[in-house]
A = this chain, B = another copy of it.
């Protein structure tokens, strides 16, 4: 454990993440559309994603894939013809999934369609109107005031299309030795916001690339890049049998802030995934972190945790969604998030993958009576039976307890916890015993 983590050149990764942040930030992502495809195609440069399309109108459980949304231009021009609000300045200016509009509007008619941020006057808020046909603009407080001062009539244009097309998602399966499978999910539906959720998409892609580069893996990893909610639901519906076999899942989002580190627990607080995350924090020296209990609000863990799947799903975050003032606004930008910050959280996910990979269960190949240690050259040399080496236990203690407890159900980490010794001590003991052929992996 930790080998891969140690081998990573953090500053190179930070720089590369920064490059990708800047490259993908401007794209106009939504539930559907070319911005999503452009994002997925770009990610294919990092990992061999398969991009799949689900046609509009497809039924996925209780939902239906909506029409595809295309947006080319949108603006509000004042009496002098100048654009006071302009989609090309920020794709947040248009309410996502706005239907097309073109015409002249008085301020009184326009005003109900103009939204500002409730607390941050400099921010353009992020709004969507996915399943209700309407249109709208988001503006800073200054823009709003300028509109009010101008008074109109305004030249209003949303050059969008809502028409049958498809929803796009990306998928990558990285096979491992065992049948245990881990889902890693991030969402590609947010336009120009850096922490929520471009940071998650990039961390996920980088993590996939690293995992794929490992010479071998214990677990199989299923990476999905989906529009939130409808995309996750579509993925579940189209891969139901596979999804029912998932062992645990990670939803990667809001991982690029500078603020508090935390994790959202999976619905079963006793699931090993949660303990592993806390172990990662301890290992990384993070002593203060937020522990968000499972909640029915959140991201796509809502789908993966639903009755039909009940996949324990957790999220490690840095400045978690809902919690930072810039959330869902134009201030969640490249000043707020840097490649280096994402690299810091990537390190935590990498450590978690290391733990998932090294979470191993062994059973004795000599279940009846004791192993004859001397025969296998396992009997400790002088002192090995007497000198405590970990948690007050001697080398001999560790060997005997590990043999006693490795019954095919307790994981190495659980044995370590039981004996109150560092996990590395048991991992090392297990490695020796496995090499000697007296333990075998389950």
Contacts and interface: CB of A to CB of B under 8 A. Distances in A.
A368 B309 contact: yes
B62 A372 contact: yes
Contact of A61 (B61, B229, B366): B366
A308 B370 CA distance: 10
A369 B62 contact: yes
Interface stretch (A119-127, A146-154, A215-223, A299-307): A299-307
Nearest to A402: B296
A229 B375 CA distance: 15
A229 B307 contact: no
Interface string A361-393: 001101111111011000000000000000000
A303 B374 contact: no
A372 B230 CA distance: 9
B307 A233 contact: no
A404 interface: yes
Contact of A404 (B236, B306, B438): B306
A16 interface: no
Interface string A228-250: 01001100110010000000000
A129 to B, nearest CB: 11
A236 B303 CA distance: 49
Contacts of A309: 368-369
A404 B372 CA distance: 51
Contact of A307 (B61, B132, B237, B367): B367
Interface of A: 60-63, 131-132, 229, 232-233, 236-237, 240, 296-297, 302-303, 305-309, 363-364, 366-372, 374-375, 397, 400-401, 404, 407, 438
Considering the complex of A and B, which 5 residue pairs feature the smallest CB-CB distances, nearest first? Answer: A308-B368, A307-B367, A296-B400, A308-B367, A303-B369
